[in-house]
Structure 1
């Protein structure tokens, strides 16, 4: 008997690397989905553990096509356009509850399930088996269907693959340890994700000092139509010469916190300034709190 639900395994952020121990596959920009097949029935579970079977009629016939029962696949639901996932189109599928509209959308914007792991086989867990074995079995079980595909991967050459994937407009790359087990709900180094760094023009709204009075980090915000959005602190990229020159300018601009500054997580000891000095910042991603992860100061427009 299959479990009622399984929390999907998660990945950590990483810089691209090469390794014979890892496989590399496209990071699909879609909805994470576990597909349960048991007793001739199919059930779809998303990352939040919700049942989303009703949304995707494309997959209702899978029990007839898969050679076996008591199976759980892990993968991503995408809507493809010119061979690439289009998240905007997927969103149209995600927010519909009317059976008639669901049927119409399944014909106009058909979804594809990109399967990348196998968690249960013949009603028994295979979570402890190494990924290379789960992948081999997955390949044997995937049915002939226009709505299901295996997430293809390469070995060893992670850096070149990442560059190629990003150049083609994909979201990034997943790197997975070939010998790793599947750890439900865990975010560990067995699964890593490579994503291209973003770059934004921001304005300096404050700064922090070290105990010796030198510049420690800048507080930055991104100008938007609704005001300034706080994006956190940045210290990487501040060299000694730039820090000294910048600190002189910042001290001359000290003021109260900008009234239109939105966000949270403002640090203690912040010295606020008039938002007049702009800079360019690169970052890994934007966190759930609206701040840049791993920001680097690329340029200051003095």
Structure 2
């Protein structure tokens, strides 16, 4: 009997490194999901422990392809475009409830499950088994399917692999200790992630305050040939002394209304400023709404 839910194991952020103790695989930019296979039944659980089986009819026939049962797989659901995961296309699959639309999207934008771990086999937990052995067994039992792919890995050469992966347009790399157990819900040094980030010089167009009057986040806009494009808010990267100094400068630049911005859904309670201060921001990607995903302020002009 398989457990009802399992919290996925998590990773810490790290700079790229080389080590014979670790495997290195692509960090797939998708939806983290555990597949529970018992007999002919499939149940898909996302990172929030919700059942999302209904969203992906293309996966429903996978249990019939396995020669073993009582399985729990860990991996990422992706929608590929040109051989790379497209977060935008995946979002189209994630936010649909209509059965008719779900079935249509499963044909137009089929998903692929990139499998990278095996947690149960024939109803028996493998989570105390070293990752090296779990991956060996996974490769042995994984059937051929256009919807099911093993996340392949390299050994030792983490830095070179990261550079190659990023140059080909992927999000980053996962580094995993070959001798490590699977620790549900834990974020530990056994799993590390190397992430590529974009950088942009933006103008500060406003800010938000916390209830105690300290600086909460900056509102950013990117200068483009079409004008200032709103890129959202950034709340991390500044030390407390830097935030205090910056707030004094921002107060002196306040204006009654926002500058002319391309974009929408500006935050309530925003204090707008004349766009005179620039900052360098790193980010994971630009979302379909034109916002920076996971932005970090790296430098503010003159601060």
* Structure 1 residue matching 2:252: 3-state secondary structure: coil
State which structure, 1 or 2, has the greater radius of gyration over its C-alpha atoms.
1
Partner of 2:150: 150
- In the TM superposition, residue 58 of structure 1 has moved relative to its aligned partner by 1.4
Partner of 1:231: 234
Partners of 1:260 and 1:229 lie apart in 2 by 17
Partner of 1:99: 99
Partner of 2:195: 195
| 1:204–1:275 Cα contact (<8 Å) kept | yes
Partner of 1:112: 112
CA shift digits 1:14-68 (9 cap, x unpaired): 1111111111100111111111011321111111111111111111111211111
1:36 aligns with 2:33: no
Partners of 1:282 and 1:257 lie apart in 2 by 25
Partner of 1:280: 280
CA shift digits 1:51-92 (9 cap, x unpaired): 111111111111211111110000111111111111211122
Partners of 1:66 and 1:78 lie apart in 2 by 21
Give unpaired runs (5+ residues) of structure 2: 207-216, 223-227, 259-265, 287-292
Partner of 1:17: 17
Match for residue 296 of structure 1 among 282, 295, 298: 298
Partner of 1:255: 252
Partner of 1:89: 89
- In the TM superposition, residue 221 of structure 1 has moved relative to its aligned partner by 4.3
Partner of 1:240: none
Cα 1:89–1:235 shift into 2, 3 Å:
closer
Cα 1:95–1:67 shift into 2, 3 Å:
same
Cα 1:201–1:60 shift into 2, 3 Å:
same
Paired residues, what number?
A: 273
Give unpaired runs (5+ residues) of structure 1: 207-218, 237-242, 265-271
* Structure 2 residue matching 1:104: 3-state secondary structure: helix
CA shift digits 1:92-139 (9 cap, x unpaired): 222222222222221221111100000001101110111101100110
Partners of 1:54 and 1:115 lie apart in 2 by 19
| 1:12–1:192 Cα contact (<8 Å) kept | yes
| 2:205–2:221 Cα contact (<8 Å) kept | no
Partners of 2:74 and 2:112 lie apart in 1 by 13
TM-score scaled by length of structure 1: 0.77
Partners of 2:249 and 2:22 lie apart in 1 by 52
* Structure 2 residue matching 1:93: 3-state secondary structure: helix
Partner of 1:139: 139
Cα 1:154–1:258 shift into 2, 3 Å:
farther
Structural RMSD (CA): 3.6
